[in-house]
């Protein structure tokens, strides 16, 4: 199996939102974004697979060394080898790849967040860095597009946090800020034990509204002339926002079920978004 095939199997199955968001890209850019997301997935899995913090830190330290080796021309892991052409073609900065590891290292020792500001810092380290790298691969003409990528990364990370709230709780992690739990009178014990209540459902509904507002902030930063080149992020956002609405429609039961969209529905969203953006771009050119 080639390095890029390894990456595709890890993150770009036909049931993944990444598959549909990159469906209309040329192969070189598609492979580069796939490699970046596979790298993010690979190091994130360290947290999922390692019960011992010390062991997880050893693995993350190994990845720091592997990134250094990659930039020195000596990658060994399939994901690192797949990153090599992306780094060369799009000048991906080493510090962005290392910041992802820093964010996960911090996550090992912090399983609770007090404020939305604290949570945003975490989302920037994990989500924003991935999409800032993607913006470099997709290319842009206006530096404001980087602000869009940063805000989009936060929005997508917040979506994943809400969608996976039950899974995180079973691993004794709560990402929803304690100030929000207090505002809705939701005890941490209820989340950790999967005890749903009307207050939790109201909390989730309010979080959905806040995440939608974050997507709007992201889109407001994206210049018109860069919209078509940044199409994968727009498709990913459309799929994520539809997922949020499905969570709401299903009753906000994120503690006991993980909502995902059917492949055909994601394909339709991807095609519709691409069609809309191409029409928008053609009017811009006129």
Domain span at residue 17? 1-109
Q: What is the pTM of this model?
A: 0.95
Q: Which residues of 131-163 are buried (b: 16+ CB within 10 A; e: fewer)?
A: bbbbbbbbebeeeebbbbbbbbbbbbbbbbbbb
> Do 173 and 102 fall within a single domain?
no
Retrieve residue 72's tokens: 């020195």
> Do 102 and 116 fall within a single domain?
no
> Do 188 and 133 fall within a single domain?
yes
Q: What is the pLDDT of residue 185?
A: 94
> Do 105 and 119 fall within a single domain?
no
Q: Which of 111, 105, 108, 134 is nearest to 38 (CA)?
A: 134
CATH code for the domain of 13? 1.10.600.10
Q: What is the pLDDT of residue 97?
A: 96
The answer, yes or no, to whether residue 284 has pLDDT greater than 90, is no
pLDDT in tens, 174-223: 999 999 999 999 999 999 998 888 999 999 999 999 999 999 999 999 99
The answer, yes or no, to whether residue 285 has pLDDT greater than 70, is no
> Do 19 and 104 fall within a single domain?
yes
pLDDT in tens, 100-157: 999 888 888 888 899 999 999 999 999 999 999 999 999 999 999 999 999 999 999 9
> Do 123 and 186 fall within a single domain?
yes
Average pLDDT over residues 244-251: 96
Of 286 and 139, the structure prediction assigns the larger pLDDT to: 139
The answer, yes or no, to whether residue 286 has pLDDT greater than 60, is no
Percentage of the chain lying above the pLDDT 90 cut: 83
121 part of a folded domain = yes
Average pLDDT over residues 61-69: 96
pLDDT in tens, 24-60: 999 999 999 999 999 999 999 888 777 788 888 999 9
Long-range CB pairs of 246-251, under 8 A, 24+ apart, other chains included: 247/162, 247/163, 247/204, 247/208, 248/205, 248/208, 251/201
Q: What is the pLDDT of residue 203?
A: 96
Q: Which residue has the tokens 């992690």?
A: 173
> Do 144 and 246 fall within a single domain?
yes
């Amino acid at each position: 199996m080639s390095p890029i095939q390894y990456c595709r199997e890890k993150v770009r199955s036909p049931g993944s939102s990444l598959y549909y968001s990159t469906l209309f890209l040329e192969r070189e850019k598609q492979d580069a974004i796939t490699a970046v997301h596979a790298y993010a997935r690979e190091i994130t899995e360290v947290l999922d697979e390692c019960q011992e913090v010390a062991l997880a830190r050893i693995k993350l330290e190994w990845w720091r060394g592997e990134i250094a080796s990659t930039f020195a021309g000596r990658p060994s892991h399939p994901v690192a080898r797949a990153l090599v052409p992306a780094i060369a073609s799009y000048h991906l900065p080493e510090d962005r790849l290392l910041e992802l590891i820093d964010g996960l290292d911090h996550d090992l020792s912090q399983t609770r967040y007090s404020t939305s500001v604290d949570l945003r810092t975490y989302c920037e380290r994990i989500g924003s860095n991935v999409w800032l790298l993607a913006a470099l691969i997709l290319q842009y003409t206006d530096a404001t597009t980087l602000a869009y990528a940063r805000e989009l990364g936060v929005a997508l990370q917040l979506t994943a946090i809400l969608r996976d709230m039950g899974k995180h709780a079973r691993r004794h992690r709560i990402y929803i800020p304690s100030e929000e739990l207090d505002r809705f009178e939701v005890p941490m014990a209820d989340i950790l034990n999967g005890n749903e209540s009307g207050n939790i459902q109201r909390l989730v509904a309010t979080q959905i509204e806040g995440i939608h507002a974050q997507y709007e902030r992201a889109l407001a930063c994206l210049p018109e002339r860069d919209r078509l080149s940044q199409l994968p992020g727009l498709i990913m956002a459309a799929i994520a926002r539809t997922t949020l609405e499905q969570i709401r429609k299903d009753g906000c039961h994120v503690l006991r079920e993980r909502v995902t969209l059917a492949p055909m529905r994601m394909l339709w969203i991807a095609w519709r978004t691409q069609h809309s953006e191409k029409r928008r771009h053609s009017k811009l050119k006129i």
